[in-house]
Structure 1
Amino acid sequence: MSSVTSRAIGAVVGGFIADAAGLPIHWVYNQDDLNAIVAKHDKPEFIPEGHCPFYKLPTGSLSGFADQGCALLQSLVESKGLDLDNYKSSLVTRFGPGSGYDIDRSGEKPVLGPWLNGSLKQFLANHEEKKAKTGADSADVDSLSKVGPLVALYAGDPKLMSYVESTVRVTQDNDIAVKYAQAGAKLLEDYILNGPNPDAVQKLTGQVDADAKAEIEAVIAVKGEPHQEVAKKFGLGCGMPANFNNAIHCILNGSDDFAASVRFGLASGGDNCGRLSFVGSCFGAQGGFESLPADWIAKTTEGAKIKALAEELVKMRK
C-alpha cells in the first residue's frame, strides 16, 4: 500500500487534474446533449473543444472551483501553514483586479475567459470594503471543492476541523457550506491516513450530525444505480448537500483505477467541476500519487507546478 506521504500528494494533485479533465464539459445541464458530446470522443476527459455554455477556456485549464484550491495551496506553502490573511491575499491575487478573472461577462455567453463564482464576487467586494467577515452567505460546493490541500497538510491534526471551518468562512460564511466541507474533510483524512477502505463512507455516518448522516445514508441506499441518474435525482446544480451527495455516490462506485473512477463524476452533467476536485482528491488519496495517470498531469496546464507545490506542502506535515 502507498505511504501517507504519497497519499497526501495524491490527494492534492488528484483533485486538480480531475477538475481540469472535466472543465470542457462543465455546467452542461442537459444530459442528452452531454452524452452526445461525449459520444464523439474516445474518452470524456480533456475534450479538446470546450462546451460549457457560460465560459470558454483552453482545455487543461482549471475551473473557478479548483482555482480557489490553488490559491489555498499557494498560501499554505508560502506561509508554511494556514494564515488566513495570507490566504485572503492569495485569493485577491488570483481572482481580483488585474487577474485573469478581471474580465467583462456582461455580453453573450459563453464568455472567453474564466467564470467568477458568486461567493468569490462577494468575497472580493467584502474584502475591498475591509469588512471583518468577508464570506458570502453561500451553500455552494466551493467549500468542499478546496479542502484537498488543507487535509493533505493537517490530516491527523486535532485542529483540522477548526482549520476547515475558518478557511471556508473566508469566502462562505454559511453553516451548510462549513458542515459538508468538514464532512468531506473527515472522509479525505481517513483515506490519507489509512488508505482505501470500502467502509469509509459508512464510517463517516457516525462522525457527522443527523442531517448529514441522513444525506449520506440516502446516497448509500442508491449506490448500485447509474451515477448519471443519481446525480440528476439529487440535483445537478452547485448547491449542497446535493453536490456533496453526488460526490459521495461517485466515490462509492469507484475502484483502484483513478481515471475510470473519476469518469463517473466527470460525465454526470451540471456542476461536474464543483464535485470533481473533491472526488479526485479522494481517489488520489486512496491510491497514492503513483495511481494518478501521468498523461492527466501533463494535460493539466498547471500540472507540474501543482505537483511541485504539493510536494512542498506535504514536506511540512508533522
Structure 2
Amino acid sequence: MVSKKERAKGALMGAFIGEALGVGPHWYYDLEEMRAEYGDWIDDYTEPKADRYHGGLEAGEISQAGILLKMMVEHLIENNGYDQAAFCKMMDEDFLPKISGKAMAGPGGYTSQSMRHLWRARVKNELPWDQSAGNADTTEAIERNIGQAIFYAEDLKALSLNITDNTALTQADNLIASLTVAYSSVLAILVQGEKLDPEISKKLMRAVDRGELPFHKVTSDNLNPPAKDNTVKESDLYGEGIFASPDGLLSPSYMARAAEDQDIIIEPAWKASIVYGMPCAIYHMLPAVYYLAARFKDDFEAGVLNALNGGGQNQVRTMLTGALIGAQVGFSRIPARFIKGLKQKDELLNLTDKLVEKCK
C-alpha cells in the first residue's frame, strides 16, 4: 500500500523530473531533427543546444516552469497555504524583475507567453493585478499549481477556489481556468489514492454533486437525463457553477478507456503526441497526458519517456505526466537515476518533504 505522503512526494518530484527531462529536446516539431540531435530514443536528462530554447542550462536543470512551481511550493510552505496577496507580492518582487517582454530570456532561458504578458501589464504598463491576465491558451497555470493540487488534495473546495483565483492572475479565459482546475482535481484524487482509470470521472462528478468542485451539472448519475422535476442544485458558494460544464472532468475517463481498449492502438506510445497534437495549447496537452498517465500508471519511466520522445511541447507533456504517474506509483518507485541526475535534487527534495508534511 502506497502511503499518501509517498504519493504526494512522487507527484511533486515527478513534476520536477519531467520538467527537467524536457529542457534539452524542448519544442522540436520536426521529429527527424530531434532524433538527429538526440538519437532515436531519449532516455535521460540532456543539455539543450546553445541556439535553442533553454540554451546555457545543463542537463538535469529545471527551467522556468520548474522555477515557478518551486516558487509556489515555497509560498505554500511559508504561508501554510495559498495567500493571493502574498503570492502577488512574491511575483512582483522576486520574479517579474528577472524577466522582460523578450521570449528568449529570463530564468530558465525562455519566458512563456503568459509571463511575458504579465510583465508588460505589471511592469511596463503598471496595471493592477486584476487587469493583468492575458489570452494564452496554454498550461502555465497548471504547471505552477501542481503544488496547490498536492497541498489541498484532501480539500477539493479550497483547491478549486484557490487555483481558479491564481489562474485568473495570468489567464483570462474561463475555459482555460476550468481545464486547469480539472487537471488539478485529477492530480488531487490520485494523491488521495485513486487510479487514473475509466472510473475516475465518476468520482470527480460525485465531488461536483457534493459542492466541492465548481462545475455546472444538470444530468443525473452516469450522465443520464435529469429527472423531470429536477432543479439544478445551487449552493451558497457556487450557484450553478463557476465553470459552464463538467466536460473537463469527463475527459480523463475517456483517455483511460482508450489506454485500456485493445481495439485502440497507439504504437509506439509516444505517438500519442501526434494523435492528440504536438502544439502547446491546453486542449492538445491534457488528452495526451491523461492517456499516457493511464497507460503507464504503474511505470513512471515508460510514461515520462514516451511523453518526452513525442516531441513538440514535450516538456509540459512530460512534466504533467510525471506528476500524475508519480502520484500513482509513489516516490520510491521513481527510478533513482532520475533523482540522482536532477541538478537541484537536494533543495527540491527538501522542499518536497516540507510541503508533504504541511499537506491538508
The TM-score, its normalising length taken from structure 2, stands at 0.77
Name the residue aligned to 2:317: 275
Gap change, CA 1:88 and 1:213, over 3 Å in 2: closer
1:143-158 equivalence runs, <5 A = 143-157=141-155, 158=157
| 1:151 alignment partner AA | A
1:266 to 2:308 alignment? yes
Distance 1:239 1:221 in 2: 23
Name the residue aligned to 1:225: 266
Between structure 1 and structure 2, the one with the greater Rg is 2
Equivalent pair of 2:115/2:170 in contact (CA under 8 Å) = yes
Worse overlay, 306-315 or 127-136: 127-136
| 1:96 alignment partner AA | L
Equivalent pair of 1:191/1:197 in contact (CA under 8 Å) = yes
What SS class does the counterpart of residue 168 from structure 2 fall into? helix
Name the residue aligned to 1:127: 122
Name the residue aligned to 1:114: 109
1:160 to 2:159 alignment? yes
Superposed displacement of residue 294, structure 1: 2.6
Unmatched 5+ residue regions in structure 2? 209-214, 216-244, 260-264
Name the residue aligned to 1:11: 11
| 1:291 alignment partner AA | R
Distance 1:31 1:299 in 2: 25
Gap change, CA 1:287 and 1:183, over 3 Å in 2: same
1:287 to 2:329 alignment? yes
Name the residue aligned to 1:68: 68
Equivalent pair of 1:123/1:136 in contact (CA under 8 Å) = yes
| 1:89 alignment partner AA | K
Name the residue aligned to 2:53: 54
Aligned Cα root-mean-square deviation (Å): 2.8
Gap change, CA 1:299 and 1:102, over 3 Å in 2: farther
Equivalent pair of 2:8/2:191 in contact (CA under 8 Å) = yes
Equivalent pair of 2:198/2:252 in contact (CA under 8 Å) = no
What SS class does the counterpart of residue 28 from structure 2 fall into? coil
What SS class does the counterpart of residue 291 from structure 2 fall into? helix
Superposed displacement of residue 210, structure 1: 5.2
| 1:280 alignment partner AA | G
Distance 1:44 1:196 in 2: 25
- Percent of residue pairs bearing the same amino acid type: 20
Ranked by relative contact order (alpha carbons within 8 Å, sequence separation 6 or more), the top structure is: 1
Name the residue aligned to 1:249: 291
Gap change, CA 1:169 and 1:35, over 3 Å in 2: same
Distance 2:353 2:199 in 1: 26
Superposed displacement of residue 34, structure 1: 2.2
The TM-score, its normalising length taken from structure 1, stands at 0.87
Match of 2:248 among 191, 195, 212: 212
Superposed displacement of residue 132, structure 1: 3.4
| 2:271 alignment partner AA | E
**Number of positions where the alignment pairs a residue of Structure 1 with one of Structure 2:** 312
Match of 1:235 among 249, 263, 277: 277
Gap change, CA 1:112 and 1:71, over 3 Å in 2: closer
Equivalent pair of 1:14/1:284 in contact (CA under 8 Å) = yes
Distance 2:43 2:13 in 1: 19
Equivalent pair of 1:195/1:287 in contact (CA under 8 Å) = no
Equivalent pair of 2:101/2:119 in contact (CA under 8 Å) = no
Superposed displacement of residue 103, structure 1: 9.4
Superposed displacement of residue 6, structure 1: 1.6
Gap change, CA 1:281 and 1:123, over 3 Å in 2: same
